[in-house]
Amino acid sequence: MEKTEGRLFQLDAVLALAGRGFRGYFESPTAYVVLFVFYLLSGYLFTVPLFFVNQASIKGFADYLPLLLCFLAPALTMGLLAEELKSGTFETLATFPLEDWDIVLGKFLGFAATHAVSVAGLAVYPLALSFLVAPPAGLDWGETGGVLLALFLLGLMFGAAGLFASSLSKSQIVAFVTAFLLCFAIFAIGKLAQFAPVMMGRVVEFIGADAHMDTLAKGVIDTRDLLYFATGIFGFLYLTVQRLAGRRF
């Protein structure tokens, strides 16, 4: 593989790293354990409103699953770079004709594919619910699709934050804690908007994920919300690239 000058990244290298990363998740028990706990807790959050409130909706996912993602994303990303740095394999990887963006995008897309699988698995709940709900009541598929899309995008941003945290330390534990704090800050800051002055409250509300999640969870696709998540993902990936570039010197 020859390094191509003038390109931000090499697509074939990115896809190769992404494929290796995706396979790597399921070649170890880590992904299975993390996803088992994730589905176990999400199943509980799904059944509580169904049987205790008689609410035929997965809106509760949008309220509580972001907190689970604060654990899921760091758990899946903590070793992506930290383990490479600890074992010394990053130095070997850095000698290959790869750009820093190749490495970062490859690692991120491997996570993104795994995260897509985890969110796709959540579709089992509304599908099961559709067989239990009487036709007149129905299930709001627009809302359902919006909730799943919101969780997917939020998980991608948390994954990008986790990848950045993984580049900061050789310890996976430190990477996990750092990533959790970053994700929890994004999760919690929007909830503080109501306590801030009006103008500042709007800024805080926009920075936090809550308002953007709520809009998507209603089945409304707003370009401002998509831009918010895209900006957050790119920002963390850019910081990761800068961190790796600093390690080359």
Q: What is the DSSP string of 4-51?
A: PTT-S--HHHHHHHHHHHHHHHHTSHHHHHHHHHHHHHHHHHHHHHHH
Query: Who wins on pLDDT, 79 or 247?
Result: 79
Instruction: Tell me the C-alpha distance between 223 and 151, whole Å.
Output: 16
Q: Is the model's pLDDT at 51 over the cut of 70?
A: no
Which of 78, 91, 39 lies closest to 161, judged by CA?
A: 78
Percentage of residues in the chain having pLDDT higher than 90: 34
| Residue range 67-90: mean pLDDT, rounded | 87
What pLDDT, on a 0 to 100 scale, did the predictor assign at position 54? 62
pTM across the whole model: 0.87
Decide which of 1 and 117 is more confident. 117
What is the predicted pLDDT for the residue at 7? 62
pLDDT for 2 equals 46
- The confidence score (pLDDT) of residue 220 equals 84
Tell me what the mean pLDDT of segment 140-162 comes to.
89
Quick one: pLDDT band at residue 157, thresholds 50, 70, 90? very high
Chain mean pLDDT for the chain: 83
Q: Is the pLDDT of residue 202 over 60?
A: yes
d(CA 213, CA 158): 14
Confidence of residue 200 (pLDDT cuts 50, 70, 90): confident
H-helix segments, 141-197: 141-166, 172-189
Query: What is the Cα–Cα distance from 110 to 204, expressed in whole angstroms?
Result: 31
Q: Which of 34, 62, 68 is nearest to 49 (CA)?
A: 62
Report the half-sphere exposure of 164 (CA within 13 A, side-chain side): 22
Lowest mean pLDDT among 70-84, 124-138, 181-195: 124-138
Upper half-sphere CA count for residue 144 (Cβ side, 13 Å): 17
pLDDT for the residue numbered 126? 79
Separation of alpha carbons 187 and 172, rounded Å: 22
Compare 233 and 202 and report the one with higher pLDDT. Answer: 233
Q: Is 90 exceeded by the pLDDT of residue 166?
A: yes
Return d(Cα 222, Cα 101) in angstroms, integer.
29
Mean pLDDT of 39-66: 73
DSSP string, 181-231: HHHHHHHHHGGGGGGS-HHHHHHHHHHSSHHHHHHHHTT---HHHHHHHHH
The predicted model gives 199-206 an average pLDDT of: 76
